[in-house]
Chain A
């Protein structure tokens, strides 16, 4: 009894998939957050007349996100998959709560939610072919067929396209994080893995996942800071007035530098591949951010939700990831798959 309980517990916590570098990186993120929290306190002390609520909430929410993500990654790959599937669920729910839907399609939306566990399971077991086609082929053909069976033709095209776009970004795209985690590097890889581990002692995916998420979030912050400091020319005035060309270029530069520094140390990427990966993340992150901004502007809402105090909703947090994740995964897969 006790034996089997221990065995079960061990299944949920397998620390042996982690490298020292991943642990150091996660600890550094925690340290950075400690510094951020201290800085907010100091700012509050120095300028008591100004309102720091927004900043304080933002840092506090970062703590929660970092804890959840960190724990999910550290404990076991299975927990990471469950956690990330849950993030997808929250994102899809927020998306479907925001967009116009038809009364008749209520049950179709239920089927769309069911795609999440299946897609994440396929990513987790590493069934690459099925993982790749399940949503863009099977779901995208099944859902319209289900809608047709209801018989309501008014608004058919819009109902289908909004639902498919939601599944594409919030489920298909984000599930690549789990695919990245269960990536196995074959002998025949196009680029030789630059890594101390030769006997495949550790899974290479955890490092790649941490790098992806870290670079994506870093790029968001870097674009914001560069844009605030030097930005004059607006990059996309009608979609997001805050985005500037200087922000975009500065963001790309900073992200590439960080990618080159971290990539070879934390992951199997060599510095050249890491630099290219950094460019892809910076550019696609920018596009992902803008696509969610455009969505919100189209609907006439400011924040997608109020779930994450200081950050708005889940969509506002995963916006860049919906683009960076599949792009980065397929780049890595092309090089090492």
Chain B
């Protein structure tokens, strides 16, 4: 069966129209603003459903008069529309307020922990590519045989298994059972200390470890990334596998592949040299969608492996009912997803001009 995505992959691109491309980019760019605006509004309202954030975080911990004082100081006793206007104004100025539980600027938290999540997402994407694409090609090459069936089942299991469950299973096997991989953290304590002493840290441990110039630190960082990257990457790998397989099979039915086959080109060469490149194009679009999946999955993976990134912090602040922090983090994730999708749309439009209309 050839899907719409497969068809997009196999149809030859038409000549791009410059004016159409710019118009498309402009429209997509303009659409981001209401999208983000709606997201911020929805998140703001959801965070107020259970009352003001001060009561949510500190209710029961402070005497009633002190609680009221804090609520007044923070302005949560004012009309909702006034609070909303202030919040929106703050967001546009890049000010997401201060957390309630530890008083830190939310922006600082976003900057400090965002790099850790970015690093994990990149590792997961590498896992997805390294596992998904070759196995997708293999499944296409061995289509309708037992290898294909096994890989398809594995792919379904990969993306159907809840991330936290997969993380726990990996941890139980490799950390608790076999004791060969670390169960938590982004690096060993001494490596973290060394990284902490580095001037101008990027927060991406692999880069910082390379800058540190110590092979053991780089190795330690990569070693700690294995399980979280697998837990998060296997889901996307399953999707990539299915996508590559379907598209390669579709491409194998196209005219130019048939011509190549008629010239006596072997099936293996057809798959690896003629069919896989066009089959990779839809993955660009899927990566955009997967960014949202990876970021939401990061909350569970980071929590399971104590990978101290944005997802981990979101979970911690949720537990503490610090809805100011939660609000800031969720808005940031929403903005990242919206912007990523914009970039993916533009890239997809560059690759395939038909998507502009």
Chains A and B form a bound pair: no
- B interface residue numbers (CB < 8 A to A): none
- A interface residue numbers (CB < 8 A to B): none
